[in-house]
Amino acid sequence: MRRSSTRLKSVSSEDLRRAGELIRAGRLVAFPTETVYGLGANALDANAVKRIFLAKGRPSTSPLIVHVDSVEMARRLVAFWPAAADTLAGRFWPGPLTLVLPKLPLVPDIVTAGLATVGIRMPDHPTALALIRESGMPIAAPSANRFTQLSPTSADHVKESLGVAVDMILDSGPTVVGIESTVLSLAVSPPRLLRPGMISRQEIEALIGPVELAGRLENGEAVPHASPGMHRRHYSPATRLILVEGGARLPAGRGAYLWREHRAEAAKCIEMPGDPAGYAAVLYDTLHREDKQGWEWIAAEKVPDSPEWAAIADRLVRAASQTR
């Protein structure tokens, strides 16, 4: 899934050199990917990875994704690399697809929440790939924000959420895809979709055959999760977010309404793009902006119940959950 880089801001070679040094020294660097901004540390340094959890306030039960710059680097981290991984990486890497595979012992347990598997992806962003190459290390990186809050799609979002907890931020402008990667486990048979993203289940099945969907977590938040993004409440603004059927009456009080097909009376109405890719690209930025306005609520019209909208529906449902 290659995206246009016409909106990207260039990062200087000097900034990349310094960022690479920080990664090797066990420090934290926030950097852009095509999905969201990540909070990166040397994936092979357990102490450095611990800093990610502390900076984010992230529970140890939530594993991290490891970012690589090549299939060769990915293969050095896993116990086996099946034919399905070759097929999917050949089609979707670099891009927003994370593959979960059995890990080798050199990947610290803190990265994987103590699980025997690790999620790996090759990001489709020149700055991300340059940082990995400059550091010479695979980089563990969840989204660069406080845990359960809105994911960052710009450097300003990172600054607002994490502030001085980050040693350096590489600013390449807004991200393009706008929501987190699809996560697929190849450590089970049949493969299991752990988190929906803009690479759909149907696209994956067209290449490797049937894929099952992960069930809802039944054991609360105290056990290791097979993938990031599985907490009931996630991707959430501070303002109460509610989902409404198109044409339904909005709550009393002042709020902002994100609509696609059915406009309604609200203090502020925001027309969202009608296509999934366009909607995903602006969703978090829109929520970040409206979260600062002091609204009593933000309402979003429910998106279609169809495969191409599954990832966006997932983010909206989790953002609207009141379970912490």
How is 96-162 classified by DSSP, letter by letter?
SEEEEEEBPTTS-GGGGTT-SEEEEE--S-HHHHHHHHHHTS-EE--BSSSTTBPPPSSHHHHHHHH
Which tens digits make up the pLDDT trace of 131-150?
Answer: 999 999 999 999 999 998 99
What is the average per-residue pLDDT within 89-108? 98
- Helix (H) / strand (E) element for 32: namely strand 29-32
Spans of all domains in the chain: 13-213, 241-320
- Does residue 54 have a pLDDT over 50? yes
In DSSP terms, which residues pair with 41 in a beta bridge? 140
- Band of the pLDDT at 315, cuts 50, 70, 90? very high
CA dist 85 and 107 (Å) reads 19
Which tens digits make up the pLDDT trace of 261-311?
Answer: 999 999 999 999 999 999 999 999 999 999 999 999 999 999 999 999 999
pLDDT for 227 equals 55
pTM metric for this prediction: 0.92
Q: What is the DSSP letter of 193?
A: E
- Cis status, amide bond into 102, omega within 30 of 0: no
- Band of the pLDDT at 228, cuts 50, 70, 90? low
| SS3 assignment, position 222 | coil
pLDDT for 148 equals 86
Bridge-based pairing state of the strands 117-121 and 97-102: antiparallel
Do domains 13-213 and 241-320 share one topology? The answer is no
Would you state the structure tokens that stand for residue 20, as one six-digit string?
């690479």
Would you state the structure tokens that stand for residue 273, as one six-digit string?
């793009």
pLDDT averaged over the chain?
A: 92
pLDDT for 2 equals 44
- pLDDT above 90: percentage of residues in the chain: 86
String of DSSP letters for 260-278? SS-----SEEEEPPSSHHH
CATH number for region 13-213: 3.90.870.10
CA dist 22 and 203 (Å) reads 38
User: Is the domain covering 241-320 a CATH 3.40.50 domain?
Assistant: yes
Which residue in the block uniquely carries the two structure tokens 């890990």? 103
Which residue in the block uniquely carries the two structure tokens 């060769």? 72
Cα distances (Å, whole numbers) of residue 110 to 52, 62, 66, 216 = 10, 9, 12, 24
Which tens digits make up the pLDDT trace of 171-216?
Answer: 999 999 999 999 999 999 999 999 999 999 999 999 999 999 987 5
- Band of the pLDDT at 221, cuts 50, 70, 90? low
What is the average per-residue pLDDT within 231-244? 82
